[in-house]
């Protein structure tokens, strides 16, 4: 769960206008969406490398 303080810090570093009232809506969205993606933390990725260029192979 991202704190409001960290949220605002990242938002500012990303170039978003942290004084915009819209930040409240974005904070609600981010705190709802990002935790739902944490499901991938359950995967065992030991010894798994990212595909540097993703192109499916024919065989």
Partner 1 sequence: MGRSNLHGLSVRELGLLIEKREVSPVEVVEAHLKRIEALEPRLSSFITLVADQAMERALQCEKEIMAGQYRGPLHGIPFGLKDLYYVKGIRNTCGTRIFDQFVPDFDSTVARRLLEAGAILMGKLNLHPLAYGPTGENPDYGDMHNPWSPDRITGGSSGGSASAVASGECAFAMGTDTGGSVRIPSALCGLVGLKPTYGLVSRYGITVLSWSQDHAGPMTRTVEDCALVMNAIAGHDPHDPASAVTRVPDYTKALTGKVKGTRIGLVKEFFEAPLDPTIGSLVRKAISVFEKLGAQVTEISWPMFEYSAAIAGIIQMAEATAYHRDLVKKHGKELMPMVRLRLECGFFVSAVDYVQALRARTLFYQQSMRLFDGVDFLCTPSVPIPACPIGTTEVDIAGKRLGIIAALTQYTRPFNLNGFPAISLPCGFTHEGLPVGLQFAGKPFDEEGVLRAAYAFEQATPWHERRPSL
Minimum CB–partner distance for residue 19 and partner 1 (Å): 14
Could you tell me which residues come within 8 angstroms of residue 12 by beta carbon, excluding any fewer than 6 positions away? 18
- By CB under 8 A, name the binding residues for partner 1: 2, 7, 10-11, 14-16, 22, 25-26, 29-30, 33-34, 36-41, 43, 45, 48-51, 53-58
Minimum CB distance to partner 1 smaller for 19 or for 38: 38
Minimum CB–partner distance for residue 58 and partner 1 (Å): 5
């Amino acid at each position: 769960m991202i704190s409001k303080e960290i949220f605002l810090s990242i938002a500012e570093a990303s170039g978003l206008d942290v004084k915009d009232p819209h930040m409240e809506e974005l904070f609600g969205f981010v705190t709802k969406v990002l935790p739902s993606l944490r499901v991938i933390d359950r995967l065992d990725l030991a010894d798994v490398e990212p595909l540097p260029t993703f192109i499916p192979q024919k065989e």
